[in-house]
Structure 1
């Protein structure tokens, strides 16, 4: 197993009491509802769910803050995982990179294990992401994804 610090990776995992098919559907069809921690909102600019497809959105804060992101999907494996990066815009145009994101789901009993990870080019970027609130933010996002998925599957609680 690769040491996560060797690849400058931050990870959040969560059990979701809903089957992977439902979690996947929520992940990909209702992204704006779970992508960033509330009270922030996400505006989807474009989500082309295929390898090489554009992944662009704007996260908006309650005080008028804006955090745009424009990148591409590197991999999309339905009901399993998607991988995205900000290292390129659509058409493989390079830009200053911050991370590679990997959102994975695997069956876990009657539910799903969700794993969200961010891989960084160097330790400085990893530390920057930690300082930005990775742990709290990505855990909040995982909770929002779980709440939505569980409500869709009728197993919320």
Structure 2
């Protein structure tokens, strides 16, 4: 979904697995689903609390290395977590690009997963769209889905 007025980009998918299983994989196995292959992510630290550090390094297939330093704004176990790059640990201001929201909710006999990015500026929003937000975040949603639905 693209909402040009609110500068929100999001993807959603139904996962044929219970919410507790999806939450567990969503939060403890990020290195297996977060980056679209052949990219990969290395988790540096995930301090699952408001104000906690959310740090990772993204590695590309051609040697690209992109450190990401964020802070958790909200963690509601079993439901959602929210991070931003507008701050680093200790609420130190940083160059903001987006607020990321990952949510799950029961739906039928499975779980509805939604990943959203809210942008501070129109330029950041347009840049994220042009970077392939829909394709990339859809790919990671599919990777999460496959992990959760595996036996």
> What is the count of residue pairs matched by the alignment?
150
Q: Once the 2 structures are TM-superposed, how far is the Cα of residue 7 of structure 1 from its aligned partner?
A: 2.4
Give runs of aligned pairs for residues 104-115 of structure 1, distance below 5 A: 104-115=103-114
1:17 aligns with 2:21: no
CA distance in 2 between partners of 1:4 and 1:135 (Å): 12
For 2:49, what is the secondary structure of its paired residue? coil
- Partner Cα distance (1:134, 1:67) in 2: 16
**Which consecutive unaligned segments of at least 5 residues does structure 2 have?**
none
Q: Report whether the alignment pairs 1:62 with 2:61.
A: yes
* Aligned mates of 1:5, 1:107 — CA distance in 2: 28
Deviation at 1:5? 3.0
TM-score (norm 2): 0.97
Which of structure 1's runs of 4+ aligned residues deviate more than 4 A?
none
Q: Distance in 1 between matches of 2:16 and 2:65?
A: 33
Match of 2:42 in 1: 43
Q: Kindly provide the CA deviation profile for residues 84-110 of structure 1, in whole angstroms up to 9, marking residues without a partner as x.
A: 000001000000000000000000011
Q: How does 1:1-157 map to 2 (within 5 A)?
A: 4-151=3-150, 154=151
Give the whole-Å Cα distance in 1 for the aligned partners of 2:3 and 2:79.
21
Q: Please list the CA deviations of residues 53-73 of structure 1 after superposition, one character each: whole Å capped at 9, or x if unmatched.
A: 000000101110011100100
Unmatched tracts of structure 1, length 5 or more:
none
Question: How far, CA to CA, are the matches of 1:7 and 1:49 in structure 2?
Answer: 27
What secondary structure does 2:61 align onto? coil
Q: TM-score, structure 1 length as denominator? A: 0.93
